[in-house]
Amino acid sequence: MERFDSSDSAAKTQQNDICQILAILHKWGIHMIGQLAALDKQQLGARLGPEAIRLWERANGQSSRVIKLIRPPESFEESFEFESEIETAEPLLFMLRRFLEQLAIRLGGMYLVAKELTLRVTFTDKQSYERTFKIPQPTNNIDLLFRMLHTHLENFKSEYPIVAVALSAQPIKPAREQFGLFETTLRNPHQLSETLARLTALLGADRVGTPVLEETHRPDAFQIEPFAWALTSVTRNLGRSSSVPGSYPEACRSSPLHILRSALRRFRPAISGSVLLDEDRPSHVRGADIRGKIVDQRGPYLFSGNWWDEKLWALADWDLQLETGELVRCHESEASWKIDGIYD
């Protein structure tokens, strides 16, 4: 259902009335403002109505219209073009420090703080590099903001010299919170942000973040997503992440004694091992710290997925009991064996 706006309807009605009046005036031979101003006001109003009187008053300079004050949106951005190309970080950091000082003064004058910084660097080949910095706790602290930029630029490399730089801030009202008598503020979240920035610079953006399970049954399948300050509750369990054999219906019916009451201590990552077969059944296992003759086994429990693309995978799980009494879980994949864990 569309929302009815009375102001828009009234404006359209007034515009239609003016168009009709102008059409009648043109038929009378009146095409100039001076010709309209020379007409008699009372007779014009009697024939064309009050809207024609308002037009006559505007033509004679007798009407007044209140000016609407429209403030342009504030833009918190600083930029600078270098006279000569720069190839080191010192001039760039010097300009960024000045940018932050000016932005902090402008934001503070409007009782605002920065919640996000966007850095844009232009090179000699007309290409540009842009990076957005999420500020965990909005602030105007110049030292904290500069340290965030400095940490990112420590390992920044480019093939071409820099000719221009720009820095913009996304403003927000400062958050206020009233604590109780025995309550204290939280620890400074900027320390975590700086640590993440240093790790990203050393290891790469694809190796720092939050591990998220992939939507598959492949064991330990996950991907790294960028770290987010907003916490989200996970209500579903994607993939096969259970650490007890209860997730295997076959294991629940035919597992060795006491295995259903044990917890699986997983090895991260799984330990490479070798398994001797006797008539396609495991008879001996050997790993880094686990080795021995197999006296009982359950399996194989077959799993596979992604048969429709190049990420095809298939494995066979085994629950093995050694002569020493240890219960281990192994799996075979692509003609190699790995030990997943041991049951406590």
Q: What is the pLDDT of residues 7-61, one digit of tens each?
A: 567 777 878 888 888 888 888 888 888 888 888 888 888 888 888 888 888 888 8
| Residue 133 and residue 84 share a domain | yes
pLDDT at 121: 94
Q: What is the pLDDT of residues 158-201, one digit of tens each?
A: 889 999 999 999 999 987 766 666 655 555 666 777 777 777 77
Residue 218 within a domain: no
Beta strands 210-213 and 264-278: pairing type?
Answer: unpaired
pLDDT, block means (10 residues), the chain with 344 residues: 55 82 88 87 87 86 79 88 89 93 93 92 92 85 89 84 94 77 60 74 79 82 76 45 41 46 82 88 88 90 85 88 90 88 88
Whether 157 is in a domain gets the answer yes
Q: Which of 172, 193, 225 is the last residue of a domain?
A: 172
Q: Please provide residue 11's backbone torsions phi and psi, each rounded to the nearest 5 degrees.
A: -65, -40
Residues 337 and 249 in one domain: yes
Looking at the domain assignment, is residue 309 inside a domain? yes
pLDDT of residue 76: 93
- The answer to whether residue 130 sits within a structural domain is yes
Judge if 82 and 114 occupy the same domain: yes
Mark whether 113 and 52 lie in a shared domain.
Answer: no
Same domain for 18 and 94: no
Same domain, 47 and 102: no
Last residue of a domain, one of 153, 172, 191: 172
Tokens linked to 314: 């298939």
Range of the domain at 164: 77-172
339 neighbors 274 (Cβ within 8 angstroms): no
Residues 266 and 321 in one domain: yes
Compute how many other C-beta atoms are within 10 angstroms of the C-beta atom of residue 21.
19
Alpha-carbon separation of residue 52 from 14, 40, 56, 314 (angstroms): 11, 11, 6, 85
Q: Residue 181: inside a domain, yes or no?
A: no
In a domain, 193, yes or no: no
Task: State whether 84 and 53 are in the same domain.
Answer: no
Count of domains observed in the chain: 3
In a domain, 338, yes or no: yes
State residue 253's pLDDT score: 41
Say if 41 falls within a structural domain: yes
Q: What is the DSSP string of 269-327?
A: EEEEEEEEEETTEEEEEE-SS-EEEEEEEEEEEEEEE-TTSTT-EEEEEEEEEETTS-E
Task: Give 311's Cβ-side CA count (13 Å radius).
Answer: 6
Compute the C-alpha angle 123/139/179, nearest 5°: 160
Whether residues 120 and 90 share a domain: the answer is yes
Same structural domain, 104 and 53:
no
Any idea what the CATH number is for the domain that residue 153 is in? Answer: 3.30.1490.100
- Tell me, yes or no, whether 81 and 144 share the same domain: yes
Are residues 24 and 93 part of one domain?
Answer: no
Query: According to the model, what pLDDT value does residue 254 have?
Result: 45
For residue 338, the surrounding DSSP H or E stretch is strand 336-343
Which of 172, 196, 224 is a domain's end point?
Answer: 172
